[in-house]
Amino acid sequence: MPSNETGGTTGLEDLFLDGLKDIYYAEKKILTALPKMAKAAEADEVSAAFEKHLSETEGQVDRLEQVFELMGQTASAKACPAIDGILEEGAEILEKYSGTPAIDAGLVAAAQSVEHYEIARYGTLVAWAMQMGMADVATLLQATLEEEETTDTALSSLGEGGVNERAMQEAA
Ligand code: FE
Ligand code: FE
Ligand code: FE
């Protein structure tokens, strides 16, 4: 582990560990939100996208636990007000639009907000791991970053591939 001249940890390592705990909290919250989103989705392909990402997210939590272990730390979560807020907005969409033609467009948008937060966090964590010379940690986080980016692209394709158009229908 990188140390400074007085034998303590570097500022970057502290920042990294705080970020790791933040995203660990976020992933666990996302694990509870995705099944609700899959259930509320009208189109099978939207529901399937959430189910697929749910199983990926389980693997992402495992990767984070491996990273904590490589850092010599016990896995722990630190409240992330950003993901709480993003998921709260998603819950508002769910409440207001469930059963309407607009639900899938709303859910896809809510999910993309989550992915964008994750992409920001993982992008930073990969860069910091590299800076600290922890290639094995960076590789694990990079694998997750790529899943988040692929998910974001798939959600855009769903939106543009009919979901947004269906949302223009009037509610029954
Ligand atoms: Fe994730
Ligand atoms: Fe956060
Ligand atoms: Fe994700």
Residues with CB under 5 A from ligand 2 (ion): 22, 80, 82
In a domain, 3, yes or no: no
The reply to whether 118 falls in a domain is yes
pLDDT band for position 9 (50/70/90)?
Answer: confident
In a domain, 145, yes or no: yes
Bridge partners, residue 3, by sequence: 9
Q: Does residue 150 lie within any of the structural domains? A: yes
Q: Which domain holds residue 140?
A: 12-171
Number of independent structural domains in the chain: 1
The model's pLDDT over 26-77, given as tens digits with 9 standing for 90+, comes to 999 999 999 999 999 999 999 999 999 999 999 999 999 999 999 999 999 9
The reply to whether 7 falls in a domain is no
pLDDT of residue 170: 79
Say if 20 falls within a structural domain.
yes
CA-CA distance, 75 to 21, in Å (whole number)?
Answer: 8
CA of 134 to the centre of ligand 3 (A): 23
Q: DSSP characters for the chain?
A: --B-TTSSB-HHHHHHHHHHHHHHHHHHHHHHHHHHHHHH-SSHHHHHHHHHHHHHHHHHHHHHHHHHHHTT--------HHHHHHHHHHHHHHHHHTTSTTHHHHHHHHHHHHHHHHHHHHHHHHHHHHHTT-HHHHHHHHHHHHHHHHHHHHHHHHIIIIIHHHTTSPP-
CA of 166 to the centre of ligand 1 (A): 27
- Tens digits of per-residue pLDDT, 68-108? 999 999 999 999 999 999 999 999 999 999 999 999 999 99
* Ligand closest to the CA atom of residue 112: 3
Query: Model confidence at 2, in pLDDT bands (50, 70, 90)?
Result: low
Residue 41 lies in a domain: yes
In-domain check, residue 2: no
pLDDT digits (tens, 9 = 90+) for 138-171: 999 999 999 999 999 999 999 999 999 999 987 7
Residues, CB-to-ion distance under 5 Å, ligand 3? 118, 148
The CATH number assigned to the domain holding 153 equals 1.20.1260.10
